[in-house]
Amino acid sequence: MAMATCRCCRLYSTRHLHHVPLLQASLDAAAQWLSSCLASQPSSLLSSLLTVLLEPGLEPPVRQQAGLQLKNLLQWPGVWQGLEAGQRQVARQGLLEALAREQWRPSVACLCVQAVARLEPWPGLLPSLAARLQGEVQDGEAMACLDTLACLLGEGEAEEAEAAEVLTAVVAVARGSSALAVRVAAYSCLEAMLPQVASNMARRGERDYLM
């Protein structure tokens, strides 16, 4: 049986090894094309990747790869700063829309939002994410928003009023959601934002409500 298995492995390898150079050539060509676009038209490349990320009809791995490439592009020196103000606003809006399109974790749109927030201030970002947690919201969108809030609040400071608004929304999700995965995401978000809500915890009424 072992000999037969080894023979099958050898046959499989013999039949498929000749595809390896073709695959590597395709990867090299794709990398060269991306480098060319990055050098000559980064804004067009960013727009194209965002369009793919927002396309609901594509297979999830394709959209995930588009998101990862978009995140890498945003981290490339000078790309975001080279966009016009209108282009930046369109990109921000598209990334927020993408949070509602994903049905997997971790959210690649979350990574892109985090990358942009690291590059420059994003006014109203935290309240807009908190607002999306209120009312009827799909589990996938709720978890993406919670993950994004956890990333943002875990590495940066927020104004006290905004932190309190986020805290209220996240606690409501943790208490009210019927989905275990959503509640777990809410508790993880609360853990990440604890340094931001120290003043809330210092007030007995709010502390009792949270606990």
For residues 1-28, give the mean pLDDT. Answer: 48
pLDDT digits (tens, 9 = 90+) for 41-75: 778 889 889 998 998 888 888 888 889 989 989 99
C-beta of residue 139 within 8 angstroms of C-beta of residue 181? yes
Name the pTM for this structure.
0.77
What is the residue-wise DSSP string for 122-190? -TTHHHHHHHHTSSS--HHHHHHHHHHHHHHHHHS---HHHHHHHHHHHHHHHHH-S-HHHHHHHHHHH
Q: Which of 129, 178, 121, 119 is nearest to 150 (CA)?
A: 129
pLDDT digits (tens, 9 = 90+) for 170-203: 999 999 899 999 999 999 998 888 876 666 555 5
Rg (C-alpha) for the chain, rounded Å, is 22
- C-alpha distances (whole Å) from 200 to each of 40, 184, 205 are 49, 22, 9
The letter for the amino acid at 69 is: Q
